[in-house]
Structure 1
Amino acid sequence: MAQQFVQAKIKGDKVVVFLKPTCPYCTMAQEVLQKYKFKPGHYECVDISNHSEMDSVQDYFLELTGARTVPRVFIGEECIGGGSDVAALQRSGKLEGMLKSIGALQ
């Protein structure tokens, strides 16, 4: 069920941040991404902290991405990592190109 939950959220033309609201790295990822103007429906934050299968979801993140931690940020169907990774991509100038490449930006 955890796999279906995650797979149902990630799509080729969408940015998805799986997070917990109390996590500072999750906040960091959201703050970076909020600087961009997304097309409606192409950016979603998914709070897993109250998900009935949170541990299974995080176990699936480990299997899928090599890390169990949040945030797990997906650009399209590719996980680009967590909060520090998103911030680094923005600083390097690569993040905007990645967002444009999937057609998520207005």
Structure 2
Amino acid sequence: MAQEFVETKLRVDKVVMFMKPTCSYCVMAKDVLSKYKFKPGHYECIDISGRVDAGHMQDYFMEITGARTVPRVFIGEECIGGGSDVAELDDSGKLQGMLQSIGALQ
């Protein structure tokens, strides 16, 4: 169920962040991504904190990304990591290129 939910959210032209609102790294990643103008439907921020299957979801993140922590940020079907990773990609200018390459930006 958790795996199916995650897989249905990941698409090649979309940015998806799985997060918990009380996590400072999640807030960091959300702040970075909020600077970009996404096309409607191309960015989704999913709060997993209230979900009964959150633990299973995080186990699945471990399986597919090598880490079970949140945030898990996906550009297309590729996980680019967590809060620090997103901030570093943004600082280096690489994040914008990655977002443009999947056609997610306006």
Aligned residues with identical type, % of pairs: 73
Superposition pairs of residues 90-101 of structure 1, within 5 angstroms: 90-101=90-101
What TM-score, normalized to structure 1? 0.99
SS of 1:21 mapped into structure 2: coil
Q: Secondary structure at the match of 1:17?
A: strand
Count residues in correspondence.
Answer: 106
Aligned-residue CA RMSD (Å):
0.4
- Structure 2: which 5+ runs fail to align? none
Q: Secondary structure at the match of 2:3?
A: helix
Match of 1:88 in 2: 88
1:50-89 aligned within 5 A = 50-89=50-89
1:104 has 2:104 as partner: yes
Q: Which runs of 5+ in 1 are unaligned?
A: none
Q: Which letter does structure 1 place at the counterpart of 2:14? A: K
Shift of 1:52: 1.4
Cα separation, 2, equivalents of 1:85 and 1:19: 14
- In the alignment, structure 1 residue 5 sits paired with structure 2 residue 37: no
Stretches of 4+ moved more than 6 A in 1?
none
SS of residue paired to 1:86 = helix
- Counterpart of 1:25 in structure 2 is 25
